[in-house]
Chain A
Amino acid sequence: MRPIRRQALFVFRTLFPESAIKVLTAALLLSVSFPFLQAGEWSGQAALEAFGFSRGGSEPQQENTAFSVFVEPEYYHAWDNDRQSLTVKAFFRYDTQDAERTHVDVRELTWLRAADSWEWRLGVRKVFWGVTESFHLVDIINQTDLVENLDGEEKLGQPMANLAWINDWGTVDLFLLTGFRERTFAGADGRLRGGTVVDSDLAHYASGAEDQRLDAAIRYQHSVAAWDVGVSHFHGTSREPLFTPVARDGAVVLAPYYPVIDQTGLDVQGTFGSWLLKLEGAYRHGFGETDFAAAVAGFEYTFFDVKATGLDIGVLMEFLWDERDAAATHPFADDVFVGTRWALNDTWDTTFLGGVVWDRENAGRFWNLEASRRLSDQLKLSLEMRTFSNTESPDLLHGFHRDDHLRLELGYFW
Chain B
Amino acid sequence: MTSLLFTLLLFANPIDIDAQAAQRGLEIAQEADRRDTGFGDNVSKMDMILTNRKGKQSTRHMRNRALEQADDGDKLLILFDHPRDVKGTAFLAFTHRVGQDDQWLYLPALKRVKRISSSNKSGPFMGSEFAYEDLTSQEVEKYRYAYEGEETVDGQAAFKVTRFPNDPDSGYTRQIVWYDQAEYRILKIAYYDRKDSLLKTLTYHDYQQYLDKFWRADRWLMVNHQTGKKTELVFHAYAFQTGLGDRDFDQNSLKRAR
Contact = CB atoms under 8 A, between A and B. Distances in A.
A312 B124 CA distance: 10
B258 A377 contact: no
Contact of B171 (A125, A130, A308): A308
Interface of A: 41, 43, 45, 76, 78, 82, 85, 112, 114, 116, 119, 125-128, 130, 153, 164, 166, 171, 221, 223, 228, 269, 271, 273-276, 302, 304-305, 308, 310, 312, 345-349, 374, 377-378, 380, 411, 413-414
A378 B84 contact: yes
B111 A126 contact: yes
B110 A128 contact: yes
A47 to B, nearest CB: 11
B193 interface: yes
Given A128-B112, A273-B100, A304-B120, A411 B85 contact: yes
Contacts of A269: 115
Contacts of B216: none
Given A78-B258, A126-B111, A153-B110, A304 B127 contact: no
Contacts of B117: 271, 273-276, 302, 304
A312 B120 CA distance: 9
Contact of A414 (B84, B193, B258): B84
A347 B127 contact: yes
A218 B152 CA distance: 62
A134 to B, nearest CB: 15
B82 interface: yes
B241 interface: no
Contact of B119 (A126, A171, A273): A273
A125 B258 CA distance: 16
Nearest to A350: B127
A142 to B, nearest CB: 9
A346 B127 contact: yes
B156 interface: no
B258 A85 contact: yes
Interface in B177-215: 193-194
Which 5 pairs between the two chains have the least Cβ-Cβ distance? A413-B84, A305-B123, A304-B120, A347-B127, A274-B119
B67 interface: no
Point out which of B82, B88, B111 has the most chain A C-beta atoms below 10 A from its C-beta.
B111
Point out which of B85, B110, B194 has the most chain A C-beta atoms below 10 A from its C-beta.
B85
Interface string B94-130: 0000001010000000111001111111111001000
Contact of B127 (A78, A164, A275, A345): A345
Contacts of B58: 347, 377
A271 B115 contact: yes
B214 to A, nearest CB: 23
Contacts, number: 104
Given A171-B252, A377-B82, A378-B83, 5 more contacts: A304-B120, A308-B171, A312-B123, A347-B52, A377-B83
A374 B123 contact: no
Interface residues on B, range: 35 or more
Main secondary structure of the interface of B (DSSP, over half): loop
B169 interface: yes
A92 to B, nearest CB: 17
Interface of B: 50, 52, 58-59, 82-88, 100, 102, 110-112, 115-124, 127, 169, 171, 193-194, 245, 247, 250-253, 256, 258
Nearest to B226: A308
A349 B127 contact: yes
Nearest to A304: B120
B194 A119 contact: no
A116 B116 CA distance: 26
Contact of B120 (A276, A305, A347): A305
A125 B84 CA distance: 21
Contacts of B82: 377
Nearest to B251: A223
A276 B127 contact: no
A171 B117 CA distance: 22
B226 to A, nearest CB: 9
Contacts of A377: 58-59, 82-84
A414 B81 CA distance: 11
Contact of A228 (B115, B122, B123, B258): B115
A276 B58 CA distance: 33
A118 to B, nearest CB: 9
A345 B124 contact: yes
Contacts of B118: 271
Given A43-B84, A274-B117, A374-B83, A310 B52 contact: no
Contacts of A347: 50, 52, 58, 127
Contacts of B116: 271
A273 B100 CA distance: 7
Contacts of B88: 43
A78 B251 CA distance: 19
Contacts of A166: 247, 250, 252
Contacts of B256: 85, 112, 114, 119
A171 B253 CA distance: 12
